[in-house]
C-alpha cells in the first residue's frame, strides 16, 4: 500500500476502513464473568477480550494504557475496532502516512490479518484515503498487478462517516476482484469469440498484460492486432507465427497451424500465472523453471501444486477449488490441441467454481447465482454491488 503526496501542505493519513460480517449465530450477551465493554463499545459473544471469552479468531484487545477513553483492537494487532453490532464489526486501520514534501521519509504501517479468519473482499471492502491533495494507490505485488487508486482534495477529516466517504478531503476506491473472477470473465470473452460470433475469432496473443480491468473491475480482453478470423467451414489456419514467448501454443509455434485451441493454451498459461504469481518467462529462475508452463506441468505431475502456489492464493482460497483450477490449467497446457478443452468448456467450469465460491452451501446442481459470474447469454458480466465496507470471515 502506498500513499504519495501531490502538494506539500500537511500531514495526511491513509486509512483502511473495514467491517466484519458475522458468520456465526448471534448471541446478544457475553459469556458469564467476561468483560463486555471497552471505552464506549460493548462487545457481544463470540467476541471477547479474556481467555475463554471468545471463539478462535474473535479475540479483541482493549488498550486502556495509552488511550483515554480506551480503544478496542482486533486480536493483538493494530486494527482499531470503531463499532460492534451483532451483524457487523467496523474497523479502522492506519496503513501509511506521508508528510508532504518528505516522501523518502514516509512511514508505512503494515496491517496484518494473517492467521485470522478474515480476508479482504473486493465486493465489500473499500480503500479510503483521508487528507488534502493526496494521491493514494493500492497495489499487490503479484504477476497480474491488481492496482486501483483515488485522489482526495480539501482536507476535512469529518468527510468520512460510518465508513462512507463524502468526497471532500477524502476519496475511496474498490478492492480489485479476485483471481477466479478475472479468469472466468476472460474465459467467457474468449468462448464468445470462438463460438458465438458469425465467424470464429482467434485472438492469438492472450497474455496477462492484455487482460485489463475497467472502472467497475470487469475483466476486458484487449489488443486484437494479431487476431484472425477463421473462414467458415475451416477449423484451422496456416500462418506465420505471431504471439508472445511463454504463451505460444507449441503446435502453432512448430508447425504454424493456428486453431482455437491455441488461445486455450495461452489462457492456460494465464491461469498458471494467477495461481503461482510467477511470470510466464523468467531468466532469473533455474533452467527448469524459466518457462512457467513447463514448470507448472512438471510440478503437477509430481504432486507439488501447493508448493508452487502464490502464498496469498494458497491461504485465501479453498484447497479443493484450487486443485480443480490447477487441473483445468493443466488440461489447457497439454501439448496437442486435441487433448485440450474448448474455451466454452473452460468458461463453464470456471463459472461453476465461481458459483460455488459465492454459495458454498448450495448443491452443485443448484441454479442459484447462475449468471453471477459470466452473466446471462453472451457471457455478459454483472458486478457485485459495493455498498458496504466489510471484512468477511473465510
Q: State how far Cα 381 lies from the chain centre.
A: 16
Among 92, 147, 95, 96, residue whose Cα is nearest residue 122: 147
Which residues, at least 6 apart from 57, have a Cβ–Cβ distance to it below 8 Å? Answer: 116, 117, 118, 393
CB atoms under 10 Å from CB of 357, counted, come to 18
Cβ atoms of 260 and 200 closer than 8 Å: yes
Give dist(CA 245, CA 207) in Å, integer. Answer: 10
Among 65, 68, 26, 67, residue whose Cα is nearest residue 43: 26
List residues with catalytic annotation.
205
CB atoms under 10 Å from CB of 188, counted, come to 27
Cβ atoms of 12 and 95 closer than 8 Å: no
Among 191, 214, 181, residue whose Cα is nearest residue 358: 181
Amino acid at each position: 500500500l502506498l500513499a504519495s503526496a501531490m502538494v506539500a501542505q500537511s500531514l495526511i493519513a491513509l486509512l483502511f476502513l473495514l467491517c466484519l460480517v458475522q458468520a456465526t449465530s448471534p448471541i446478544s450477551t457475553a459469556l458469564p464473568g467476561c468483560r463486555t465493554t471497552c471505552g464506549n463499545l460493548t462487545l457481544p459473544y463470540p467476541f471477547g477480550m479474556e481467555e475463554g471469552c471468545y471463539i478462535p479468531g474473535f479475540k479483541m484487545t482493549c488498550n486502556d494504557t495509552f488511550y483515554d477513553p480506551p480503544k478496542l483492537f482486533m486480536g493483538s494487532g493494530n486494527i482499531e475496532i470503531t463499532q460492534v453490532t451483532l451483524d457487523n464489526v467496523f474497523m479502522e486501520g492506519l496503513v501509511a502516512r506521508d508528510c508532504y514534501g518528505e516522501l523518502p521519509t514516509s512511514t508505512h504501517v503494515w496491517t496484518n490479518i494473517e492467521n485470522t479468519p478474515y480476508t479482504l473482499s473486493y465486493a465489500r471492502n473499500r480503500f479510503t484515503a483521508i487528507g488534502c491533495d493526496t494521491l493514494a494507490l493500492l497495489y499487490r505485488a503479484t504477476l497480474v498487478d491488481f492496482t486501483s487508486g483515488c485522489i482526495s482534495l480539501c482536507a476535512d477529516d469529518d468527510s468520512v462517516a460510518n465508513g462512507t466517504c463524502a468526497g471532500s478531503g477524502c476519496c475511496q476506491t474498490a478492492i480489485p476482484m479476485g483471481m477466479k473472477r478475472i479468469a472466468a470473465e476472460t474465459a467467457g470473452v474468449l468462448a464468445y469469440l470462438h463460438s458465438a460470433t458469425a465467424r470464429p475469432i482467434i485472438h492469438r496473443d492472450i497474455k496477462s498484460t492484455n487482460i485489463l480491468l475497467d472502472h467497475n473491475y470487469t475483466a476486458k480482453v484487449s489488443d486484437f492486432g494479431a487476431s484472425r478470423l477463421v473462414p467458415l467451414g475451416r477449423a484451422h489456419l496456416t500462418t506465420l507465427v505471431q504471439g508472445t514467448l511463454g504463451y505460444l501454443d507449441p503446435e502453432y509455434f512448430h508447425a504454424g497451424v493456428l486453431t482455437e485451441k491455441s488461445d486455450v493454451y495461452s489462457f492456460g498459461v494465464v491461469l498458471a500465472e494467477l495461481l503461482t504469481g510467477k511470470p510466464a518467462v523468467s531468466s532469473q529462475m533455474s533452467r527448469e523453471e524459466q518457462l512457467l508452463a513447463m514448470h507448472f506441468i512438471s510440478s503437477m505431475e509430481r504432486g507439488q501444486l501447493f508448493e508452487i502456489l502464490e502464498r496469498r492464493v494458497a491461504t485465501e482460497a479453498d484447497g479443493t477449488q484450487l486443485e480443480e483450477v490447477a487441473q483445468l490449467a493443466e488440461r489447457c497446457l497439454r501439448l496437442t490441441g486435441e487433448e485440450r478443452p474448448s474455451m466454452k468448456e473452460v468458461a463453464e467450469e470456471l463459472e461453476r467454481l465461481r458459483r460455488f465460491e459465492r454459495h458454498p452451501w448450495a448443491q452443485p446442481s443448484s441454479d442459484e447465482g447462475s449468471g453471477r459470474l459470466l452473466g446471462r447469454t453472451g457471457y455478459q458480466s454483472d458486478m457485485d454491488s459495493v455498498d458496504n465496507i466489510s471484512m468477511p470471515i473465510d
